[in-house]
Amino acid sequence: MVIYVVQSGDSLYSIAQEYGVTVELLQAANQILPTQPLVIGQALVVPTEFITHQVSAGETLFTIARSYGTTVERLVKLNPLTQSDPNFLRVGQLLTVPAVAEPTGTIAVNGFCYPGIGQSTLDLTLPDLTYLSPFSYMFTETGTLVPVDDARLINAAYTKNVAPLMVIANTIPGEGFSSELASVVLNDMDIQSTLIENIAINLDEKNYFGLNIDFEYIFPRDREAYNAFLERLVARLRPIGYVLSSAVAPKISAGQQGTLYEAHDYEAHGRLLDYVVIMTYEWGYTYGPPMAVAPVDQVERVLQYAVTEIPPAKILMGMPNYGYDWTLPYVSGTAARTLSNVAAVRLAADTGSEILFDEVAQSPYFNYRVNGVEHVVWFEDARSIQAKLRLVEQYGLGGVSYWTVNQYFSQNWLVLNSMFNVEKRF
């Protein structure tokens, strides 16, 4: 696999010819419509196993192998070379090299999804997941669960050897996350006991593999109560074999201020649970100023702190699968439009825009104008995905978690599978 960035004058045919693949394969790998023009700056994944490298002055087999993430032995095997001859490389010589390094290991991959996910998207995505997490079960102030129509998702997951995880969140229909609802459950032991038993019953009746607890915007005063709740859940559910995880805000220090952060105790979650999903996205968000959704430099700041509190193998790094379209000039409190990564590129094509790439954030973006109004779009592509996935290897993380997998993005899975094997629990 090669990531190619479209230049002026390129066509699908010329790129296909250069890499020895078909136009149809390029279109399929990148979800390009038959009549869709290429965009300058657009990242394409080229599904090819080998490419040609022309030797430059000063290069050796070792330096070439290192730059492509392969070995001298593999280069020798692929080319008519003799290691004992010190002059077997010459400037201008063409070498066949692997287009991608061998997968560096096996990771867990979780995908959150809404129950309405399309069946075709679900079928395409499940082979690349370890866990599927339908979002989500809600609960009342009495500890009663609000039913979710999740049987289709659970059954589909098991047919593809994917473990379904029940998700429970302190949300209220039409209102979002509720600090007050969480506080009621966290501080009333009778209600809490009812909720825990209802969770255990639902896990068993629905044949879930485990549980993810996504409590957000918890009052800072409820931090220790939340930790105690997790301890009670673990004591009830771990002996019967459930995988247990939580979702936490992206903190950069233990004392980070704010309702989003303060009650999420990284050390406690890492000690008690099997996995901790760190929601490393939403720097650029619906009601915020335009910027990358998950700038790699900011994601890394979170990981640098997280691995000091949570065993790295328990961390699932959050991966966004969407972008935002902001109207300019940005006015505080106005909403950006959410769009898929595929739709972002198609919008750039439709508006004749050039896609740019922010080297610090390692994220693509573009500007366009419609009806005299300026817009900016930040989204994800193969390059930004690869940059974030490299952090998984760098920090020895357990894997990644996608929000959400409701929109299929073929580039993501091609890049991920070129870098890692996906863990399967059965």
User: How far from 220 is each of 141, 228, 229, 259, 261, CA to CA, in Å?
Assistant: 19, 14, 15, 6, 8
Neighbours of 248 (CB within 10 A): 28
- Do residues 336 and 406 lie in contact, with contact meaning Cβ atoms separated by under 8 Å? no
Separation between Cα atoms, residue 203 and residue 50, nearest integer Å:
46
Q: Which two tokens stand for residue 124?
A: 């395409």
pLDDT score for 410: 97
3-state SS assignment for residue 305: helix
* pLDDT number for residue 73: 84
Q: Which of the following CATH numbers is that of domain 2-98: 3.40.50.1370, 3.40.190.10, 3.10.350.10, 2.60.120.200? A: 3.10.350.10
Cα–Cα distance measured from residue 426 to residue 405, given in angstroms and rounded to the nearest whole number: 21
Lowest model confidence (mean pLDDT) among 7-21, 82-96, 399-413 = 82-96
Mean pLDDT of the chain, nearest integer: 95
The residue behind tokens 């559910």 is: 237
- Of the candidates 279, 342, 269, 271, the residue with the CA atom closest to the CA atom of residue 45: 342
pLDDT at 83: 56
> Residue 2: enclosing H or E segment and its boundaries?
strand 2-5
Segment 248-300, tens digit of pLDDT: 999 999 999 999 999 999 999 999 999 999 999 999 999 999 999 999 999 99
pTM for this predicted structure: 0.93
The conformation of residue 355, written as its DSSP 8-state character, comes to -
pLDDT digits (tens, 9 = 90+) for 392-411: 999 999 999 999 999 999 99
171: amino acid identity, one letter: T
Residue 44 pairs in a beta bridge with: 4
Show the beta-strand stretches assigned E in 94-194. Answer: 94-98, 106-113, 131-134, 138-139, 145-146, 163-169, 171-172, 176-177
Confidence of residue 87 (pLDDT cuts 50, 70, 90): low
Burial 159-180 (b: 16+ CB within 10 A, else e): eeebbbbbbbbbbbeeeebbbe
Q: Token digits for 93?
A: 């010589």
Spatial CA neighbour of 117 closest among 139, 133, 138: 133
18 compared with 422, residue with greater pLDDT: 422
Provide the CA 421 distance to its chain's centre, in angstroms.
15
Q: Which CATH superfamily includes the segment(s) 106-322+392-422?
A: Glycosidases (3.20.20.80)
Same fold, 2-98 and 106-322+392-422: no
Q: What are phi and psi of 409, to 5 degrees?
A: -130, 95
Residue type, 52: T
Task: Report how far apart the first and last C-alpha atoms of the chain are (Å, whole number).
Answer: 28
User: What is the structure's pLDDT at 182?
Assistant: 98
Quick one: tokens of 212? 């993810």
Tens digit of pLDDT for each residue in 194-242? 999 999 999 999 999 999 999 999 999 999 999 999 999 999 999 999 9
The DSSP bridge pattern shows strands 373-378 and 363-370 to be antiparallel
**Contact indicator for 242, 163 with CB cutoff of 8 Å:** no
What CA–CA distance (Å, rounded) separates 92 from 349? 37
Residue 104: pLDDT band with limits 50, 70, 90: confident
Q: What does the pLDDT look like over 335-374, one tens digit per residue?
A: 999 999 999 999 999 999 999 999 999 999 999 999 999 9
The residue ranges of DSSP E strands in 256-298, in sequence order, are 275-278
Tokens found for residue 379: 């989204």
**Is residue 328 predicted with pLDDT exceeding 70?**
yes
Cα distances (angstroms) measured from residue 313 to each of 92, 211, 237, 364, 425? 44, 18, 21, 29, 16
Over range 127-145, report the average pLDDT.
Answer: 98
Q: Which residues are catalytic?
A: 216
Q: Where are the domains of the chain?
A: 2-98, 106-322+392-422
